[in-house]
Structure 1
Amino acid sequence: MVIMSDQLIWTCGKPNIALHLRDREAGFGKAPAYRRNCRMWRTLICDKSSVYKKTWSLTSKNRIYYIGDRLYLDDFRTCYSLNGLHAMPTIVYTNPDKSHTYKLEANLHCSAELNILPMVDGEHRPYVLGLTKCQNLIRIDLQTGQILKKIYLGHHHLCLKYMYLNWDVFQERAVVCSTQSKSAEGMMKSFVLFSVFPLEVIGHLTVTQQVFGADICNANVSDGMLIVMHRNDRVRMYNLDKIINEQNMKFRQRLGEVSQTTSTGTCSSSSGAVGSFPTGIPADIHITDRLHPLRDRLRLMACLLSGKHSEN
């Protein structure tokens, strides 16, 4: 058996894709896999003797999501498999149920690792965590498109609205972030933390001017830190786990259980279940004292651009 080198395959006239695939599988050649794949695609596409014809197309007014080997449309209500009947895209499901009308503001794809044991109600299966315009957090099963869980976040303040959904710790903890507010009560931003496997509420905290100062201009949660930005170009970072686990956590709450308190900000409602209307997710993390930051950077962006580091 004669084994041709990677260089010889591409220099002996017209490249032979079959030989190239064989050598890539056997691990011959020094070129990285990405470059080899690009060369194969270029050879196939730029071949003047190749003839292409349109076999299938799809258009949508909304976003089209590609996860695994599937396409998702209409906010995950419709799904197509790319490896369907006769090797053509085939519809897997379409959800005509209008009882769950929603429009997603943001979404996250949640996929458990193989070492996670199966949990009740199939919560180990991959799903999409979506934030709707009506302030609900929904769990959409990627296999069927059904809504397995719906959590009402609540309107805890007239000037706040939940619009952002991001990862705090990738595939472990998600955070729902509200818009900024400049109310008389000094409430700046609100954050609700969730564990994704299983989907449970961790805590709800608010960033206020009374605790972090009247000069705060923005705040965010990322990588286990609460990041607070001030108008004097100062950025302070706090340990989020320390905030959650210390005396700031006034009470523990679980989805579906009766809330211990529903008084949040200027709003108050009758006792109800956590995550359902009209209770939502009460604020159970109350920061009253000044916190000690992990990092305190002055003029952070200017220091990064100039290559200097200053700590104040």
Structure 2
Amino acid sequence: MTCPRRKRETNTTCMLVRRSRGIHDYGKILRENMRMLRAIVLQEDRNFIKVWSRTSKSSIAYESGKIYFENYQSCYSCIDSHPQLLYKLPQRTKLEKIEDALQCSSPLEKALSAPSDQKPCLVTLTANNWLYRLSAETGEKLQGVYLTPNTKFKYLHWDEFQDRFYVKSVQNKGAPFAQQAGVSQNTLMHLAIFNVFPLEIVGMLEINKTVFGSTVTDVVLTQGTLAVSHSTKSVKLYSFDRIINECMTKRLALGRPSPFHEGRTVGDAPYGIPVNIFIKDCPPVLFEVSCSDHNVQIGGHPWHYIYTPPHKKHRGTYHICSLAEGILAKNGIQDMNCCSLETDLIYLHPDESGRIVHVGPNTIKMLRCVSGLRSDSPSEVVEDFSITTSRNNVGPRVTVTSSGRTVKRIGQQLDDDPDQETFRTVGYEDEVDLLALVVTDGEEGEGRARLKLHDNSSGKLLKTIPLEQAWDVTYRNDMHYDKETIVHIEERNNSFRCHVYKLQTETK
């Protein structure tokens, strides 16, 4: 009989001594470092203090320890005790304005031929269809690719995170004279797909209504599948790898001669990148479902999909079904039964545990799918834990009019009433394995908020952090919790403000 292992508390001193002696497992070093940081964050004598604020007339973005202002023109690092300006790009014209951007982390497991290819970078898309790769630390231009003069590209999205991304054009509405003449415009949009580290072109393809049907309304790439949305409320998934293998006519290489036009270089102005993936016949459908708002999520262990049927009677509910059999799981209909201005959300947990997070105004449920005991029995959705807010029972409100008449309001109170404790945002910090929940209430004045840190495995509340800055629920607010840093971005009256909190030791 083996003795059970005793659960030991994290001892920072012992970890530092062991690390100084040399540990060859770098993954273990990183895990121990994050365990130490988590212990420090949760210490009672440590708190988050606001150290910096900045206002902007344009939107503000935060990602991986960096704050971007003025459409990614200036970048501040949050590594130090106060945000520091990393770089400021030269002023751009309206045609050169950055439309969208993705931050790319450099690979650790392989060495690339060019040193610049190894660096973390910011991939930006400009209004004049240029794709630039900028150094994440200096803003230096590392590479430029011209897309095409014929189509307006506007969006950047990941297909496979930190591996492959795509550039998406605006939808083709057709020329006004062609619409008046009754000439149909079959081309809906274009997609340009790239690999990162090094930056390589996979291909350019056209989404045509003659192939996917006249009802097609939108297309996205996700996890190696082409997801096509239709006005009939159906979503169809196709294998993108199969499309590449069967429909790619010529391979392209950036900076090399174009195989389609002699004397032209792929990725150079003014010709850019030609279409090299021609889908002439509709590929086999991998998966199809009719759903509300074209919103379907696939994942979990075992594989399931989450959607809302398009019928009125199912509005406000989420259905969880087995992907293999297409059968509704036991307890697979999730309904918060909430009365609120904002709808409840459901999504797959980003920690890749296969769990499902269901967020309402006053309840958060952590769900998971369990396989049936028999091979022919349906799976079951079970609840790991739930987190609820504290609510006060409020009776009918009494108002006295100017004439002295007393009026009682007996209407139902909203679940996201600003006077009651309400969940506003839910985040997950993977490196310290904590759930970060923003909660507002009306006890300390309207718009006051707290950040609550919960254990990701059990849901246990570990720390509550009062936020100095007000949280006005009538405007948009974004909260980012990143280890020892909290970033609060708010939008008010067409202006934006960014507030940064850093972990500090409280002085008594």
Aligned partner of 2:114 among 109, 117, 120:
120
TM-score, normalised to structure 2, is 0.46
3-state DSSP of counterpart to 1:59: strand
Aligned Cα RMSD in Å? Answer: 3.7
Aligned match of 2:124? 130
- Within the alignment, does 1:297 sit opposite 2:289 as a pair? yes
Given residue 287 of structure 2, which amino acid in structure 1 is its aligned partner? Answer: R
1:151-197, Cα deviation, whole Å (9 max, x unpaired) = 1111334xxx2111000000000111112224434011211100011
**Residue number among 150, 163, 177 corresponding to 1:172 in the alignment:** 163
Q: State the partner residue of 1:272.
A: 264
The corresponding residue for 1:49 is none
Whichever structure has more helix as a proportion of its residues is: 1
CA deviation string 1:96-146 (max 9, x = no partner)? 476998321111110122112133151010000011111111111112211
Report the Cα offset of residue 44 of structure 1: 4.2
Q: Distance in 2 between matches of 1:215 and 1:80?
A: 44
Partner Cα separation in structure 2 for residue 182 and residue 278 of structure 1: 24
Q: Which residue in 1 is equivalent to 2:214?
A: 214
Contact 1:204/1:283, CA 8 A, preserved across alignment: yes
Could you say if the C-alpha distance between residues 141 and 75 of structure 1 is closer, same or farther in structure 2, counting changes exceeding 3 Å? farther
Inter-partner Cα distance in structure 1 for 2:225 and 2:154: 20
Aligned to 1:256: 255
Q: Which residue is 1:62 aligned to?
A: 58
Check whether the contact 2:73–2:88 (CA below 8 A) recurs between aligned residues. Answer: yes
Partner of 2:154: 163
Query: How far off its partner does 1:88 sit?
Result: 4.8
User: Structure 2 matches for 1:5-154, cutoff 5 A?
Assistant: 37=41, 40=44, 44=47, 57-82=53-78, 88-96=82-90, 102-154=96-148
CA contact (8 A) 2:130 2:147 kept: yes
Q: Is it true that 1:287 corresponds to 2:279 in the alignment?
A: yes
Whether the aligned pair in 2 keeps the contact of 1:166 and 1:175 (CA below 8 Å) is yes
Letter in 1 for 2:288: D
Q: Is the CA contact (8 Å cut-off) linking 1:272 and 1:278 kept in structure 2?
A: no
How many residue pairs end up in the alignment? 270
Distance 1:94 1:218 in 2: 36
Structure 1 182/92 Cα, relative in aligned 2: closer, same or farther at 3 Å?
closer
- For the Cα contact (< 8 Å) 2:71–2:99, is it kept in 1? no
Q: What does residue 238 of structure 1 align with?
A: 238
Higher relative contact order (CA 8 A, sep 6+): 2
Q: TM-score, normalised by structure 1?
A: 0.72
Residue 204 of structure 1: CA displacement? 0.7
Q: Which has the larger displacement, 293-302 or 276-285?
A: 293-302
Structure 1 residues 140 and 75, CA gap change in structure 2 (3 angstroms): farther
Closer/same/farther in 2, CA of residues 96 and 190 from structure 1, 3 Å limit:
closer
C-alpha distance in structure 1 between counterparts of 2:273 and 2:120, whole Å: 24
Distance 1:240 1:83, change over 3 A: closer
CA distance in 2, matches of 1:22, 1:56: 29
Give distance in 1, aligned partners of 2:47 and 2:114: 48
Q: What is the CA–CA distance in structure 2 between the aligned matches of 1:81 and 1:279, rounded to whole Å?
A: 37
Alpha-carbon deviations, 1:229-268, whole Å to 9, x = none?
A: 222222210000110122x111111112222336xxxxxx
Inter-CA distance 217–78: structure 2 relative to 1 (3 Å threshold): closer
Provide the rounded CA distance (Å) in 1 between the counterparts of 2:79 and 2:134.
22
1:241 partner SS:
helix
Q: Which runs of 5+ in 2 are unaligned?
A: 1-7, 17-35, 175-183, 292-306, 311-316, 327-508
Cα distance in 1 for residues equivalent to 2:59 and 2:205 = 32
